[in-house]
Structure 1
Amino acid sequence: MGLLTLVEDRPTPKAVYNWRIYVLALIASCGSNMIGYTSAFIGTTITLSSFEGEFGLDKMTSDQVDLISENIVSLFIAGAFFGAIFTYALGHFIGRKWSLVVASAVFTLGAGLQCGTKGSSGLGIMYAGRVLSGLGTGVASNIIPIYISELAPPAIRGRLVGLYELGWQIGGLVGFWINYGVEMHMASTHQQWIIPFAVQIIPAGLLFAGALWIKESPRWLFLKGRRTKAMQNLTWIRQLDETDIYITEEVAAIDQALEEQIATVGIGFWKPFKAVAARKAIMYRLFLGCMLFFWQNGSGINAINYYSPTIFTSIGVSNSAVGWMTGIFGVIKAVMTFFWLLFLVDQLGRRNLLLGGAVTGSICMWVIGAYICVVRPEDNPTDKLNGGGIAAIFFFYLWTAVYTPTWNGTPWVINSEFFDPNIRSLAQAATTASNWLFNFLVSRFTKQMFAKMHYGVYFFFAALSFLAFFFAFFLIPETSGIPLEAIDRLFEIKPVWNAHAKLKVQLKEDEEQFRFEIKEGVFGKDAEGPGQAHVENPSPVLASGENHRDAATEA
C-alpha cells in the first residue's frame, strides 16, 4: 500500500480529499512546529559558552549548572502541563480556533520575555518566560490533534494528524541545527545565544496569523447549537453541497452522537466529568491513553531531546563533534517522520507500528548500554571513536530511525481517535497533561540519572521499551479507518488484536443497510432537509451504541 492508497469506511467523493483540509491541518501544525523547535534548541543553547559566561555558569560547580539547566527545561514543561489542563475550559467555551489564537499569543509573550533576559538582571525573567511559553505549548499540544481529527475524513485522519508530528520534527530539526550554526559562525557574545531564543517567535507568529483565518470545527459548532455556521464550515471544508449524500451521512452521524451525548452524558462544562467518573470503560480508556505517553517517555526520547550533549558525551563523542551529530539526530527524526506520515501511519496501522518500535528500540538501547558498560568512554576519553563506539552511534541512529515512526507520533494519533465526541475534549486534556507530566519527570531528573546510573540509564530505557511491547499487544486495538462515532464499538470487541477487522465488517454491513434505507425512503422521511436533528430509525453505522432519540427528547 502506497502514498495514494486510501482505506475508506464508506464510499467517499474525491472532493473530500481537497487542498483545504490539508491547508487547515498545516496551519494548525505551525503550533507543533513551535513546540518542536522550543523542545530541541534549549538543551544546546544553554551550553553555549556565551550563555554560560553571561550568567556565570562557567564559574559554578557541575551540580549547580545541572540544577539551573534542569530548571530552565522543566519550568517550560510544568507550564505545558497546566496549559494542557486549562485547554478543556478554553476549548469548551471559545472553541478550537480561538484556543489556537490564545495559545500562540501566550507563547509569543513568553518567548519575548526570554529574549529580554540579560545577565545583569539574572534568570528570573527567563524562568517566567519559559513558564508562559510552556502554557501556550500545553494549549497547542492539546487542541491541535482534536481540531485536525474533527475535520479529517477517516481515511486520511492518521495522515492529517501526523502533520502535527511532522511539524514538531521540522521545528526540532531547525532547533538542533541553529545552535550549530551560531556556535560555528558567530562570536561568543549576547547575540549568539539570543538568536535561538528569538527564532521561537516565528512559528508562533505564523500560527497566530493562520489561526485567525482557519474555520472553526463543525463538530464543535454543532455541539453549541450553531447549525447554520456548522453546515457552512462543513460544506466549505468538504467542497460538497448540503444535499450530497456524504454530507447527509456525516451530519446524521454527528446528530446521532449529540443525541446520545444528551442522553448519556449531557451538555455542559461539568457533565463530562460526571460521565467519565461513572463509566469504568471510559476510565479504562483514559488509563490506556495516559499510559501510551508513559511508555513513550520511557523510551528515552525526551532525555535525548533536552540533553543531547549529555547523551553523546556519554557514548564518547568529543565536544567538537557533539553539535553536528546532534544535528544529524534531528535530520533522521524529520526524514523518518515524513516517511511515517506518507507511507506508514494509515497504511501499516497504529498498532503494528507500536509493536515493531518497542522491540527494535529495546534492542538498540541494550546494545548502547552494553558498550558504555564495557568500554566506559567517559573514564577513558579518546580523540576518535573506536569500532565499538562507531557501532554504538550506529545503533543510536537506528533507534532514532525506528522510534520516530513508531512511538514518537503514533500515541498522539491514537489518543486523538480513542474517545467519542461526547468526552473527547476532556479526555484529550487528561492524556496530553499526562504526557507533559511524564515529560517533566524525565527532564527534571535526566542529568541526575546519568550522574548516578551511567550506562544503567540505557538499560532502564531498554527495559521500559521491552515492556511497552506487551502493553501494546494485549491492550491497544487498531484504530485506523474507524469513524470517531464508532470508537466505543471497537472497544466492545474482544480480543483486542482482532477487534479492528471485526468492526470493519460490521461497519460495511451497516453502510449497506443504511443505503438500502435511503433508497427505500425509510431514513429521514420526515426530516426537513440535510443536517436536521430529526432522524427516524437510523442505521447502526451512524451510532456508536443504541438509538437514544427518545431518551434525548425527554432530557
Structure 2
Amino acid sequence: MSGARGAWPQRALALLVPGTFTTSAFMDSSGEKQPSPVSSPSSMFADGANDLVAGILLDRFWWSLGFEKVAMGLLTLVEDRPTPKAVYNWRVYTAASVASWAACMIGYDSAFIGTTLALPSFAEEFKFAEMSKAHLNLTKANIVSVYQAGAFFGAFGAYASSHYIGRRKSLILWTLIFIIGAGMMLGANGDRGLGLIIGGRVLAGLGVGGCSNMVPIYISELSPPAVRGRLVGIYELGWQVGGLVGFWINYGLEQTMAPSHKQWIIPFAVQLIPAGCLLIGAVWMRESPRWCLSKGRREQALKDLCWIRNLPEDHPYIMEELEAIDAQVEHDRITVGPGFWKPFAALKQRKVQYRLFLGGMLFLWQNGSGINAINYYSPTVFKSLGVTEGFLTTGIFGVVKTVLTIFWLLYLIDRLGRTKLLMLGALGGSLCMWYIAAYIKIADPANNPSRDGKLTSGGISAVFFFYLWTAFYTPSWNGTPWVINSEMYSQQTRSLGQACAAANNWFWNFIISRFTPQMFSTMGYGVYMFFACLMLLSIPFVFFLIPETKGIPLERMDELFDMRPTYRAHPLLLERLKENEDVNVVIRDEKAKGEHNEMA
C-alpha cells in the first residue's frame, strides 16, 4: 500500500510511447511501483537502466546542464489516483492528434480568408474597386461571417448526430459536409460572382461547427484525468497549426505568383488537405467507451477502453474506471433519463443552467479579447498600427501563436491549471490593449504615415505590445475555454452542453466578424479600449465562478461544481479523492489477504 500511495498525487509521467521515457515512481502493468528511481534522462532510453556505468555518466552530464529540474517541471502532473504508466501510451495521443485534424480545418479557414480578401487578384476578379466603402465592408463581412453562422447551427446539429451514431461517425459526417462546402468554393470566379464562395462557406461552417462540438468531447472522454488538459490541448494546437498555414499561405503566394485566378484559388483548395487527413485517420479511431456504455454497448466499451489504456480487461485500473463510468451513467439515467430529448428536460435543473451560463460566458470573454477581429481582419488591424507589410506581420503573428500554444500544451495547462492561466492572460492582455489604444489615439499612424514608410519608434513599441498581447492571450484564453467546456458536464448532458458551448463560441465569433469593419470605421482606437475593458471584467468572473478542473475525473465534476467557495473547491476535492483512494487500497488489500487465506 505504501508503494502505491507514495506515487500520489504528483509523479513523473511518460508522455508519448511506452519504453521511450521512464521516470521515477512509475508503476508497471500490474500496478506495482518500479523499484529503481530514475533521477534524470540517463535511463529514459533504457526503460530499466541496466547499464549502470553509462547511466552514471549520463546522469552527471544531464545534471550539469540542469536538465533534471526542467524535465521534472515539464513532466510532473497531478493524478486523481495511482495510474499505470501503460495508460499514458501512444494510442491515446495519436487518437487525439488524428481527431485534431478537424481543428486544422477550423484554424486554416479562420486565418486564410482575411488575407485572401486582401489579395489584389481576388479584389480585381470580383471588382472590389467598383464598390463603395460601405458596400465593400458589407461584402467582406458577409463572406467572413456566414461561416460562423453555419458553424453555429452545425454545433447544435452535432448533438443529434453524436446521440444516434456516436462521436467517431459524427466526425466523419461533418467532415464530409465541410468537403462539399470547400469544393463549392473552388467553382467560383468573376463571372459567377461570389455566390459559390458564400454558399460554400455556409456548408464549410456547418462542418466545422459540428467538428468543434465533437472533437473536445471525444478527446476528453478518451483521456486519463492527469493529461486531459494536454490532450484536449492538442485540439487547440491543431487550430493554431492550421491558422499558421492560413496566415502564411497568401504571403507566399503574393511573393511568388503574379496576380491571377490561380493565385487566390489555391488557398481555397488547401482546405481539403486536413479534411482528407481526418477522413483517412478516422478509419483507425475507436469509439468513445463512455458513449458506448451510455448506449448499453458494454462489450464494445470494454474492448475500446482496454485498447486505449493498453491494459488487459481484468486490470484493477480498467475495472475501477469502468465501475466509475457505469455509476455515472446510471446516476444520469435516474436524474436526467435516457433518450434524445431527456437532456433538454435537464435544462430545467439549475446546476445544468449554471454550467451552460459559465461555458457561454467563457466564450464571450474569449471573443471579447479581440482575437477574432485580428484573425479575420489582420490586415486592417496592422494598418491601424501603421504597418504596411500586413501579410508578413500576420504570418509572424501566426508563428508566435503556434509556438506559445505548444508551450501551453506541454507545460501550462495541466501544471498551472485552467483558472490561473485565464486570470493572468486577461490582466496582461488588457494592459497591452490599453497601450495600443493610447498610441493610436495620440499618433493616428493609419492617417499619418511616416515619410520613409518605416515604423516610428512609437509604432515599433505598439507592434511589440501587440505581440506581447499575443503572448498573454495564447497560453490562456486561446484554448482553455474549450478544455473547461469539454470537462464540466455529466455523460448524459455532455453532448448537449458542448453543443451549446460550441454554438456560443460561433455566435460571438459571428458578432465580432460581422461588425469588426464597422467598429474600426466608427470607433478607431476605441476598439482596443473596448477589448481591454472586457478582458479586465473576465478576471473576477473566473476567480469567483470557475472552479479549477485539472486532474479531476469527469465523473466527479458534479461534486466539484457543487462545492463552495469555488476558488477552494479544487484542493478540497483532491483531498477527498486522496482519502477515498486510501480506503480503496485498504479494501483491496484486505480482499487479497482473504483470498490468500482461503487458498491456504
TM-score by length of 1: 0.93
For 2:371, the equivalent position in structure 1 comes to 301
| Aligned-pair CA distance for 1:2 | 2.3
Asked if 1 retains the 8 angstrom alpha-carbon contact of 2:240 and 2:402, the reply is yes
For 1:286, the equivalent position in structure 2 comes to 356
* Aligned with residue 281 of structure 2, among 210, 219, 241: 210
| Aligned-pair CA distance for 1:80 | 0.3
Letter in 2 for 1:22: Y
| Aligned-pair CA distance for 1:514 | 2.2
| Aligned-pair CA distance for 1:212 | 2.3
Residue 119 of structure 1: SS of its match in structure 2? coil
For 2:520, the equivalent position in structure 1 comes to 450
* Aligned with residue 106 of structure 1, among 177, 182, 188: 177
Asked if 1 retains the 8 angstrom alpha-carbon contact of 2:332 and 2:490, the reply is no
Asked if 2 retains the 8 angstrom alpha-carbon contact of 1:97 and 1:212, the reply is no
* Aligned with residue 86 of structure 1, among 157, 161, 165: 157
CA distance in 1, matches of 2:107, 2:310: 32
Letter in 2 for 1:463: C
Q: Give the aligned CA root-mean-square deviation in angstroms.
A: 1.1
For 1:73, the equivalent position in structure 2 comes to 144
| Aligned-pair CA distance for 1:63 | 1.6
* Aligned with residue 324 of structure 1, among 380, 389, 392: 392
Asked if 1 retains the 8 angstrom alpha-carbon contact of 2:250 and 2:267, the reply is yes
Give matches, 1:318-397, under 5 Å: 318=388, 321-382=389-450, 383-397=453-467
CA distance in 2, matches of 1:420, 1:501: 21
For 2:66, the equivalent position in structure 1 comes to none
Letter in 1 for 2:316: I
Letter in 2 for 1:269: F
For 2:127, the equivalent position in structure 1 comes to 56
Residue 117 of structure 1: SS of its match in structure 2? coil
For 1:407, the equivalent position in structure 2 comes to 477
| Aligned-pair CA distance for 1:341 | 0.2
CA distance in 2, matches of 1:413, 1:261: 22
| Aligned-pair CA distance for 1:65 | 1.3
* Aligned with residue 325 of structure 2, among 245, 254, 266: 254
User: Does residue 140 of structure 1 match 2:211?
Assistant: yes
Letter in 1 for 2:387: V
* Aligned with residue 262 of structure 2, among 165, 184, 191: 191
* Aligned with residue 428 of structure 1, among 488, 498, 503: 498
For 2:543, the equivalent position in structure 1 comes to 473
Residue 406 of structure 1: SS of its match in structure 2? coil
The unaligned stretches of length 5 or more in structure 1 are 526-555
Q: Cα deviation per residue 1:110-129 (whole Å; 9 max; x = unaligned)?
A: 00100111111111111110
Letter in 1 for 2:122: F
* Aligned with residue 200 of structure 2, among 111, 129, 146: 129
Greater Cα shift, 208-217 or 235-244:
208-217
Letter in 2 for 1:252: E
Q: Cα deviation per residue 1:157-180 (whole Å; 9 max; x = unaligned)?
A: 000000000000000000000000
CA distance in 1, matches of 2:204, 2:91: 29
CA distance in 1, matches of 2:352, 2:411: 31
Q: Cα deviation per residue 1:340-374 (whole Å; 9 max; x = unaligned)?
A: 00010001110100010010000000000000000
How many residue pairs get matched?
520
| Aligned-pair CA distance for 1:131 | 0.3
Asked if 2 retains the 8 angstrom alpha-carbon contact of 1:6 and 1:156, the reply is yes
CA distance in 1, matches of 2:562, 2:292: 29
Letter in 2 for 1:400: T
| Aligned-pair CA distance for 1:493 | 1.5
Letter in 2 for 1:44: T
Asked if 2 retains the 8 angstrom alpha-carbon contact of 1:111 and 1:198, the reply is yes
Letter in 2 for 1:352: K
TM-score by length of 2: 0.86
CA distance in 2, matches of 1:4, 1:270: 43
| Aligned-pair CA distance for 1:499 | 0.7
Q: Cα deviation per residue 1:452-473 (whole Å; 9 max; x = unaligned)?
A: 0000000000000010111111
Q: Give me the identity figure in percent.
A: 60
For 1:266, the equivalent position in structure 2 comes to 337
Q: Cα deviation per residue 1:425-450 (whole Å; 9 max; x = unaligned)?
A: 11000111011000000000000000
User: Does residue 484 of structure 1 match 2:554?
Assistant: yes
CA distance in 2, matches of 1:62, 1:68: 10
Asked if 2 retains the 8 angstrom alpha-carbon contact of 1:101 and 1:212, the reply is no
For 1:169, the equivalent position in structure 2 comes to 240
Residue 492 of structure 2: SS of its match in structure 1? coil
Residue 502 of structure 2: SS of its match in structure 1? helix
For 2:489, the equivalent position in structure 1 comes to 419
CA distance in 2, matches of 1:39, 1:379: 28
For 2:116, the equivalent position in structure 1 comes to 45
| Aligned-pair CA distance for 1:384 | 1.2
Asked if 1 retains the 8 angstrom alpha-carbon contact of 2:108 and 2:245, the reply is yes
Q: Which has the higher contact order (CA 8 A, sep 6+)?
A: 1
Letter in 2 for 1:183: E
Give matches, 1:505-516, under 5 Å: 505-516=575-586
Letter in 1 for 2:131: M
For 1:534, the equivalent position in structure 2 comes to none
CA distance in 2, matches of 1:229, 1:51: 51
| Aligned-pair CA distance for 1:513 | 1.6
| Aligned-pair CA distance for 1:401 | 1.2
| Aligned-pair CA distance for 1:11 | 0.6
CA distance in 2, matches of 1:445, 1:247: 51
Q: Cα deviation per residue 1:234-288 (whole Å; 9 max; x = unaligned)?
A: 10111101110000100000110111012111111011111221x1111111100
Residue 422 of structure 1: SS of its match in structure 2? helix
CA distance in 1, matches of 2:233, 2:292: 24
CA distance in 2, matches of 1:227, 1:484: 19
Letter in 2 for 1:301: I
CA distance in 2, matches of 1:359, 1:345: 18
Letter in 1 for 2:212: S
CA distance in 1, matches of 2:369, 2:345: 34
CA distance in 1, matches of 2:390, 2:359: 35
Question: Which of 1 and 2 has greater Rg?
Answer: 2
Letter in 2 for 1:506: R
CA distance in 1, matches of 2:290, 2:73: 30
| Aligned-pair CA distance for 1:228 | 0.9
| Aligned-pair CA distance for 1:517 | 2.8
Q: Cα deviation per residue 1:37-88 (whole Å; 9 max; x = unaligned)?
A: 0100000001111111111112212221111110110001100000001111
Letter in 2 for 1:259: E
For 2:42, the equivalent position in structure 1 comes to none
CA distance in 2, matches of 1:488, 1:238: 24
Asked if 2 retains the 8 angstrom alpha-carbon contact of 1:87 and 1:429, the reply is yes
Asked if 2 retains the 8 angstrom alpha-carbon contact of 1:32 and 1:168, the reply is yes
Letter in 2 for 1:103: W
Residue 230 of structure 1: SS of its match in structure 2? helix
CA distance in 2, matches of 1:259, 1:407: 34
Residue 156 of structure 1: SS of its match in structure 2? helix
Q: Cα deviation per residue 1:4-23 (whole Å; 9 max; x = unaligned)?
A: 21211101000000000010
CA distance in 2, matches of 1:512, 1:249: 14
Letter in 2 for 1:491: F
Asked if 1 retains the 8 angstrom alpha-carbon contact of 2:369 and 2:535, the reply is yes
The unaligned stretches of length 5 or more in structure 2 are 1-71, 596-600
| Aligned-pair CA distance for 1:314 | 0.5
